[in-house]
Amino acid sequence: HPAVAAADVVKVYGSGDAAVHALRGVSVTFAKGAFTAIMGPSGSGKSTLMHCLAGLDAVTSGRITLGGTEITGLGDRRLTLLRRERVGFVFQSFNLLPMLTAEENILLPLRLAGRRPDRAWFDRVVDVVGLRDRLTHRPGELSGGQQQRVACARALVTRPEVIFADEPTGNLDSRAGAEVLDFLRLSVREMGQTIVMVTHDPVAASYADRVVFLHDGRIVSELAAPTPQTVL
Ligand code: ADP
Ligand code: ADP
């Protein structure tokens, strides 16, 4: 089964005259280990689609499956548990806790889930994001790019099947953005994660294996890289 799939997903906000049709029948699958970018103009439904795929937002109709489990219709409790186990998030605004060190921020999802850190995996993630010598720093002592790499490590520490990234380079300069994207691509190649990234930046999208274009709540086209780009 694919890592994530949407079948004929419709999302309507509000009702009557005030109804906004954010998604008008979206069907798309994300294969395990693929790095996909979702692009489209502002208001085309990118964030709504990502939130529906991640189970953060309920669909109006249609079905979403995450790791083979249908999530449409699951209660909040089960959905929260499923997200905790299978999904990692990276947001535009890094969402790190300022009073915690980088290491404590990275380990937070495990602490919240009451899980014991897998030290070997933690070390691997920290080395891949290149933060070994920054672990004792607090977010305020890190650059924007380093903070976002901490956020990426935090998203990976639970070994999620899927990482959802919403404009992960939106607050970064182009060089820091490239570091974060290199890392996301590396995590796909090295650790087999599936990444779904919303972006309106063509440079960011160029790191993906596949680009899905949304317009007015529909998928209007798709591009796939001919061969996975070689890293290193
Ligand atoms: P994008 O991420 O591509 O900018 P969004 O998914 O944020 O697009 O929005 C798609 C449409 O849904 C827009 O018309 C937006 O105004 C509307 N929308 C998004 N969230 C809400 C909400 N919570 N309530 C009402 N309308 C919303
Ligand atoms: P912005 O693009 O305005 O900076 P973010 O990218 O940080 O916002 O967040 C995008 C969306 O994800 C928002 O609708 C926000 O409510 C939601 N969100 C942000 N942080 C979390 C979180 N830790 N868990 C769940 N949803 C979140």
Ligand 2, atom 2, lies closest to the CA of 92
Q: CA 220 to CA 211: how far, in whole Å?
A: 11
For residue range 154-183, list pLDDT tens digits in order: 998 988 889 999 999 988 888 888 988 988
**Cα 57 off chain centre by:** 15
For residue range 75-112, list pLDDT tens digits in order: 889 998 888 888 999 988 889 999 999 999 999 999 98
102's CB contacts (< 8 A; 6+ apart) are 131, 134, 135, 136, 137, 138, 139, 142, 146, 150, 153
Residue-by-residue DSSP string for 94-107: ----TTS-HHHHHH
Query: Is the separation of the CB atoms in 194 and 118 below 8 Å?
Result: no
List residues bridging with 219 in a β-sheet.
214
Q: What is the mean pLDDT of the chain?
A: 91
Eight-class DSSP state of 190: H
Average of per-residue pLDDT across 210-220: 97
Query: Is the separation of the CB atoms in 26 and 217 below 8 Å?
Result: yes
Ligand 1 pocket member 81 (CB < 6 A): no
Ligand 1 pocket member 13 (CB < 6 A): yes
